[in-house]
Structure 1
């Protein structure tokens, strides 16, 4: 049995066909914090992008196999354990979705996922 916590807690979702707003709590026991870094854990950028792909597939039905690239990727403010984060996914076209993570700590990460 796998007890690893791999995703944030989803506290609230507002969704329509072109936009999804997820209110997330980043659990202190998240698997990805182990070793990254022990004294001051931060959420790795690759994990943030993985979550974006997961939620895009869930809400917009764009399959990971169709993923082509992430454009205009910017990491601005770290995400730490217990942060309350908002992830906004906006469908820009049938094959492009913008995303951004933000919280009371500022704008964390943004970019555009492009599919084929």
Structure 2
């Protein structure tokens, strides 16, 4: 890294939101990955990909924003990364959070592919 290079003022951390619509106990977001996504830096030069940990963070971020998720992370299970998410790729993020179960089900997919999926468990912050 060049120490004299200016720091990027507003790094792009999230995909572009194209649209959204409600689903059973959740929401489906239509998203597009920007070419200048900050997480591409150093995550691989020849073919930049969205790291799995970023996909998990996005699922939690959007669940907090659109589903009112306020609980504290507990653990994850059945997390599978099947296909790469690449620059300028369009996809849907399906989020389902049945509050009684305290788990967030996420799925990154298109009409023809499933990119990743899993369950993130939470516990009530007031407990």
Q: How many residues align?
A: 115
**Does the aligned pair in 1 maintain the 2:24–2:96 contact within 8 Å?**
no
> Is 2:74 aligned against 1:72?
no
RMSD: 1.8
Task: For residue 71 of structure 1, give the secondary structure of its aligned residue in structure 2.
Answer: strand
Give 5+ residue unaligned stretches, structure 1: none
User: 1:100: which partner in 2?
Assistant: 107
Superposed, 1:58-69 pairs within 5 Å as 58-63=65-70, 66-69=72-75
Task: Indicate whether 1:54 and 2:61 are aligned.
Answer: yes
Structure with more of its chain in strand, by fraction: 1
Which whole-Å CA distance do the structure 2 matches of 1:104 and 1:14 have between them?
16
- Aligned with residue 29 of structure 1, among 17, 21, 36: 36
Q: Which has the higher helix share?
A: 1
Task: Give the 4+ runs in structure 1 shifted more than 4 A.
Answer: none
Conserved 8 A contact 1:70-1:111: yes
The alignment's TM-score, normalised by the length of structure 1, stands at 0.90
